[in-house]
């Protein structure tokens, strides 16, 4: 249950918003996940971090490690700003063959990041010989000087097997550029992609590039997710993606220029990055905030959380190639208590209150709806204050309505996010991951996800309710799983 905390100076009960199953820094400001990599049995999570303030500022790389992507151990700051500037976003790789020569022939970790000095952005590297515990910046930094582009940042690097080279994808204004290297130190520009493609309303940031096999067609594809700092469907920052082919130098999209596909339709899913070197699956993590209000979210003594790590696959759904997201299977290890309901029918305009779980919890529900019908699931609050998830077959949308926060800290917080339904069918399955200050929704197999920060008002405890808004709704399944908390406060 939500703990009552002493009222803090600015009037909010902020510590009660502390996520219990999502990663947060113990204190101070965090934004993008950086350097996600799996090495010698540990997942590394670095992140944009300002250790002295709850506001964005001189960026460092904070650091945590985990054996299962669920329980994280906080480690000291990995990278500090220096004479070349602040340490902006980037990635990390395992240099298995010691191509860099940093590791005496053994495998080791190399981080590739942006050095930002005022408006001057350049790419640099650092290496660690002790499983990420300490880092040495390369004395030849920067490894890619600025070619005269203001927004030139966020390198994501991977080893390209076919050409036996390192490849870097880098955000450059409203497009991405590709570079290759034999050793992570000398980089050659090879091509660019994106001018005029997809959503162009904002600057492109934090690109990624990885192969996935389309499980419907069996074809191998390359997926290129990219953040835009403004212009996402729910307003503010968001993440779009392209699918296509990549030969080690050129990305060729398999979609029309104007098509825009979103990785997530919620308000708070940004700067996503996939883990490098994870055998057998592609796992992504994103920053769970939005640049519209990230600096003002009333939590204390930390600010921002990461999303639940998600496994990505690729499928064709209703004729469209789509990324499918599922919370990682490891999440089920936190389940403590299962609350189940027998199937029932809700007549039009009728609603039912369910047993109230303690937060955090997972809610899985399966409903059957008539043509033109609409259904709503409420998670918190009362009639016009709180958070609701709805599916509307007439409007062909799934939506999340988030009402004003207590304290009303930003005009952009209250919102209705919506995503178009894929195809016209009558059964819907929803998986909802609910923590003390976030609600993540996965529809169907995960072909639509919607991620939102949600800060329940003091009198808005969890309240699960289902309503047949239009037409009859058959509730085939509703299972609620209370989850064990992984949050360990400092003593």
Size, binding site for ligand FRU by CB under 6 A: 12
The distance of closest approach from Cβ of residue 100 to ligand FRU in the complex, given in angstroms and rounded to an integer, is 23
Q: How many CA atoms lie within 13 A of 245 on its CB side?
A: 2
Q: Does 232 bind ligand FRU (CB under 6 A)?
A: no
Paired strand residues for 440: 433, 451
Nearest to 213 by CA among 240, 239, 245, 261: 245
The distance of closest approach from Cβ of residue 71 to ligand FRU in the complex, given in angstroms and rounded to an integer, is 26
According to CB under 6 A, which one of 12, 36, 37, 48 is a site residue for ligand FRU? 48
The distance of closest approach from Cβ of residue 295 to ligand FRU in the complex, given in angstroms and rounded to an integer, is 12
The encoded tokens of residue 329 equal 């299977």
Phi and psi at 68, nearest 5°, equal -135, 10
Q: Does 289 bind ligand FRU (CB under 6 A)?
A: no
**Which of 103/291 has CB closer to ligand FRU?**
291
Q: Does 88 bind ligand FRU (CB under 6 A)?
A: yes
The distance of closest approach from Cβ of residue 342 to ligand FRU in the complex, given in angstroms and rounded to an integer, is 46
Cβ atoms of residues 29 and 303 within 8 Å: yes
Nearest to 440 by CA among 346, 314, 340, 309: 309
Q: Does 271 bind ligand FRU (CB under 6 A)?
A: yes
The distance of closest approach from Cβ of residue 449 to ligand FRU in the complex, given in angstroms and rounded to an integer, is 19
Burial label for 190, CB within 10 Å (0-12, 13-18, 19+), is middle
Cα 305 from Cα 287, distance rounded (Å)? 6
The distance of closest approach from Cβ of residue 59 to ligand FRU in the complex, given in angstroms and rounded to an integer, is 5
- DSSP character string of 312-327: EEEEEETTEEEEEEEE
**Which of 230/352 has CB closer to ligand FRU?**
230
Is the omega angle on the peptide bond into residue 301 within 30 degrees of 0, that is, cis? yes
- Show the beta-strand stretches assigned E in 40-172: 42-50, 60-66, 72-79, 86-95, 108-117, 120-128, 136-137, 152-160, 165-172
Which residues are part of the catalytic machinery? 32
**Which of 24/48 has CB closer to ligand FRU?**
48
The residue length of the chain stands at 491
According to CB under 6 A, which one of 12, 19, 31, 308 is a site residue for ligand FRU? 31
According to CB under 6 A, which one of 36, 37, 59, 228 is a site residue for ligand FRU? 59
Nearest to 124 by CA among 114, 133, 136: 114
Paired strand residues for 434: 361, 439
The distance of closest approach from Cβ of residue 228 to ligand FRU in the complex, given in angstroms and rounded to an integer, is 10
Cβ atoms of residues 398 and 391 within 8 Å: yes
* Ranges within 386-445 binding ligand FRU (CB under 6 A): none
**Which of 54/465 has CB closer to ligand FRU?**
54
DSSP state of 4: P
According to CB under 6 A, which one of 95, 199, 205, 435 is a site residue for ligand FRU? 205
**Which of 32/321 has CB closer to ligand FRU?**
32
* Ranges within 345-364 binding ligand FRU (CB under 6 A): none
Cα 239 from Cα 312, distance rounded (Å)? 14
The distance of closest approach from Cβ of residue 115 to ligand FRU in the complex, given in angstroms and rounded to an integer, is 11
**Which of 80/487 has CB closer to ligand FRU?**
80
The encoded tokens of residue 375 equal 């259904």
- For ligand FRU, what does the binding mask look like between residues 109 and 138, x meaning CB under 6 A? -----x------------------------
For residue 482, give every residue at least 6 positions away whose Cβ sits within 8 Å of its Cβ, in sequence order, or none: 335, 336, 337, 338, 339, 357, 358, 360, 361
Q: Does 32 bind ligand FRU (CB under 6 A)?
A: yes
CB atoms within 10 A of CB 150: 12
Q: Does 295 bind ligand FRU (CB under 6 A)?
A: no
According to CB under 6 A, which one of 28, 110, 206, 433 is a site residue for ligand FRU? 206
Nearest to 161 by CA among 68, 248, 258: 248
Phi and psi at 315, nearest 5°, equal -145, 165
**Which of 157/432 has CB closer to ligand FRU?**
157
Which residue shows structure tokens 């050659």? 188
Cβ atoms of residues 94 and 134 within 8 Å: no
**Which of 276/401 has CB closer to ligand FRU?**
276
* Ranges within 133-162 binding ligand FRU (CB under 6 A): 153-154
The distance of closest approach from Cβ of residue 307 to ligand FRU in the complex, given in angstroms and rounded to an integer, is 14
CB atoms within 10 A of CB 207: 29
The distance of closest approach from Cβ of residue 250 to ligand FRU in the complex, given in angstroms and rounded to an integer, is 24
Nearest to 79 by CA among 124, 22, 28: 124
**Which of 122/153 has CB closer to ligand FRU?**
153
**Which of 92/432 has CB closer to ligand FRU?**
92
Query: Under the rule (CB under 6 A), what is the footprint of ligand FRU?
Result: 31-32, 48, 59, 88-89, 114, 153-154, 205-206, 271
């Amino acid at each position: 249950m939500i703990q009552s905390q002493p009222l803090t100076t600015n009037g909010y009960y902020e510590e009660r918003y502390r996520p219990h199953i999502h990663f947060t820094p113990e204190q101070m400001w965090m934004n993008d996940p950086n350097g996600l990599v799996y090495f010698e049995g540990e997942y590394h999570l670095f992140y944009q971090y300002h250790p002295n303030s709850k506001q964005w500022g001189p960026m460092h790389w904070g650091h945590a490690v985990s054996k299962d992507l669920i329980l994280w151990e906080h480690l000291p700051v990995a990278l500090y700003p220096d004479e070349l500037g602040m340490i902006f976003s980037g990635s990390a790789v395992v240099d298995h063959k010691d191509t860099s020569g940093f590791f005496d022939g053994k495998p080791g970790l190399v981080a590739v990041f942006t050095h930002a000095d005022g408006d001057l952005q350049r790419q640099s590297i650092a290496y660690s010989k002790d499983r990420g515990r300490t880092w040495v910046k390369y004395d030849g930094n920067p490894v890619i000087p600025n070619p005269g582009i203001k927004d030139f940042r966020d390198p994501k690097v991977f080893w390209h097997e076919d050409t036996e080279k390192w490849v870097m994808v880098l955000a450059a204004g409203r497009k991405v550029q590709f570079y290759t290297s034999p050793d992570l130190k000398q980089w050659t520009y090879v091509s660019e992609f994106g001018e005029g493609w997809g959503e162009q309303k904002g600057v492109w940031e934090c690109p990624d590039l990885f192969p996935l096999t389309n499980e419907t067609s069996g074809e191998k594809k390359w997926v290129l997710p990219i953040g835009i700092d403004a212009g996402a469907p729910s307003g503010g920052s968001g993440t779009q993606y392209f699918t296509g082919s990549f030969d080690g130098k050129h990305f060729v999209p398999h979609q029309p220029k104007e098509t825009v596909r979103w990785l997530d339709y919620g308000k708070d899913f940004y700067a996503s990055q996939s883990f490098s070197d994870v055998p057998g699956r592609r796992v992504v993590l994103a920053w769970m905030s939005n640049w519209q209000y990230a600096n003002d979210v009333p939590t204390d003594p930390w600010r921002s959380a990461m999303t639940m790590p998600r496994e990505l696959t690729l499928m064709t759904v209703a004729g469209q190639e789509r990324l499918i997201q599922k919370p990682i299977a490891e999440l089920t290890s936190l389940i403590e208590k299962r609350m189940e309901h027998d199937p029932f029918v809700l007549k039009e305009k009728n609603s039912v209150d369910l047993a109230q779980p303690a937060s955090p919890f997972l809610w899985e529900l399966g409903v059957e709806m008539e043509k033109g019908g609409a259904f709503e699931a409420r998670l918190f609050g009362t009639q016009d204050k709180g958070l609701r998830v709805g599916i509307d077959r007439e409007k062909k949308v799934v939506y999340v309505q988030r009402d004003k926060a207590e304290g009303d800290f930003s005009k952009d917080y209250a919102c209705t996010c919506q995503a178009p339904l894929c195809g016209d069918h009558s059964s819907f399955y929803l998986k909802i991951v609910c923590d003390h200050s976030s609600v993540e929704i996965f529809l169907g197999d995960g072909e639509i996800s919607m991620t939102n920060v949600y800060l329940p008002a003091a009198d808005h405890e969890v309240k699960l309710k289902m309503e047949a808004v239009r037409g009859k709704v058959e509730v085939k399944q509703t299972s609620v799983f209370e989850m064990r908390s992984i949050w360990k406060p400092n003593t």
